A and B are shown apart, each in its own frame.
Chain A
Amino acid sequence: MDSISLIGMASIFTAGITIAIGAVGPALGEGRAVAQGLASIAQQPDEANSITRTLFVGLAMIESTAIYCFVISMILIFANPFWDHVIKAGG
């Protein structure tokens, strides 16, 4: 197998695996966080403002791990440095 198809195969496969695994963890974490936040708002509706604010900030923190995985898979598909290198060396 020549290096172009090898790099293409590895990049696309890794991009898919990256976003798949990277989506599972934050999804579970955000689900737990939202469930707990809703339970707290139901218990103390007066504190809804500060709970919602903290919840949003926390969700952004959790979500950033998924965003890292997404950025990695985007780089692998659209701006792959190894792919560009092989194309330049070949043609």
Chain B
Amino acid sequence: MDFMTLKDITPDQVVFWQWRWVSVNATIFFTWGVMALMVLGSWLITRNLSSGPKISRWQNLLEVLVDGIRNHIRDISQEEPSSYIYFVGTLFLFIMVSNLLSFVPGYVAPTASLSTTAALAICVFAAVPVYGILSRGVLGYLEQYIKPTPLMLPFNVIGELSRTLALAVRLFGNIMSGMKIVAILLAVTPLFFPIVMQALGLLTGTIQAYIFAVLAMVYIASATRAHREKELEGKEKGEES
């Protein structure tokens, strides 16, 4: 069961079902599959949580995951993670699950399509001003575009756009290249080397999910942070004098 040939560079080109202008391609199908799996799994696990000393192993798994994400966010943003964990944690878990499932036969990672990764990157692009304005106000957020001088305005705007592009293409390129390398090796040296490359793909999939989430957090933190640094400086000066 392999519906991605070597010629198809994204799973968007594989159309499962079409009715008039509505079509379901492999990307949409597997995205909804991953979403259903995650929602169903976490619903089943969180149905009966216990706070006693004896917990089920699935609850233990989720606790480790959520606690790890919270600690990382706290390290990066130096703030309480509760307002960021919904966004960043969801990004991390979705990308990681959709990358790690790629060892299931017949599954095509939705992150191997540029449309999925572009959608995720646009979410980050939209979330940065939202968090920035929430913590610093509209003027305070816009002010950082003309820092250190108004001459830097075009560069700041271009930087904002190019890092969104980089986020999307980085994830797409990594996952797509992993798939393509396995497909090429399958034709050249079957049986052993494709398995090794697939195992390497699990590693890069996890690292890419981690990097995507960390970069999203870094971008959000840079939009919310400058304000607090000024406050800290003011405090230190006050203590000195």
Contact = CB atoms under 8 A, between A and B. Distances in A.
Contact of A57 (B172, B177, B211): B211
Interface string A61-91: 1011001101100110011000000000000
Interface residues of A, number: 17
Interface residues of chain A: helix, strand, loop or mixed (majority):
helix
B156 interface: no
Interface string B146-170: 0000000000000000000010011
A49 interface: yes
Contact of B177 (A56, A64, A70): A70
B72 to A, nearest CB: 8
Given A68-B169, A70-B177, A71-B172, A57 B214 contact: yes
B187 to A, nearest CB: 13
Interface string B107-151: 000000000000000000000000000000000000000000000
A32 interface: no
Given A68-B173, A74-B9, 20 more contacts: A56-B207, A57-B218, A60-B207, A60-B208, A60-B211, A60-B215, A64-B166, A64-B169, A64-B173, A67-B169, A67-B174, A67-B177, A68-B169, A70-B173, A70-B177, A71-B169, A71-B173, A71-B176, A74-B177, A79-B7
